Chains A and B, each alone.
Chain A
Amino acid sequence: EVQLVESGGGLVKPGGSLRLSCAASGFTFSNAWMNWVRQAPGKGLEWVGRIKSKTDGGTTDYAAPVKGRFTISRDDSKNTLYLQMNSLKTEDTAVYYCTTFSVGAFDYWGQGTLVTVSS
Chain B
Amino acid sequence: QSALTQPASVSGSPGQSITISCTGTSSDVGNYNLVSWFQQHPGKAPKFMIYEVSKRPSGVSNRFSGSKSGNTASLTISGLQAEDEADYYCCSYGGSSTWVFGGGTKLTVL
Main secondary structure of the interface of B (DSSP, over half): strand
Binds A, one of B9-17, B71-79, B90-98: B90-98
* Closest Cβ–Cβ distance, residue A100 to chain B (whole Å): 10
- Determine the distance from Cα of A106 to Cα of B47 in the docked complex, in whole angstroms: 9
| B64 in the interface (beta carbon within 8 A) | no
Q: A45-B91, A61-B98 are in contact. Are A112 and B45 (CB under 8 A)?
A: yes
Q: Which B residues fall within an 8 A CB radius of A?
A: 1, 3, 34, 36, 38, 45-48, 51-52, 55, 57, 89, 91, 93, 96-104
Which residues on the A side are within 8 Å of B52 (C-beta)?
103-105
Taking the closest CB of chain A, its distance from the CB of B86, in whole angstroms, is 13
Task: Judge whether A44 and B102 touch: CB under 8 Å.
Answer: yes
Q: A44, B46: Cβ atoms under 8 Å?
A: no
Chain A: interface residue total (CB-CB under 8 A):
21
Answer yes or no: A111 CB below 8 A from chain B CBs.
Answer: yes
Taken together as a complex, chains A and B put the C-alpha atoms of A112 and B45 apart, in Å, by: 7
25 pairs of residues in contact across A and B, judged by CB atoms under 8 Å: A35-B99, A44-B89, A44-B101, A45-B38, A45-B91, A45-B101, A46-B101, A47-B98, A47-B101, A50-B99, A61-B96, A61-B97, A61-B98, A63-B1, A103-B51, A103-B57, A104-B34, A104-B36, A104-B51, A104-B93, A105-B91, A106-B91, A107-B57, A109-B46, A110-B45
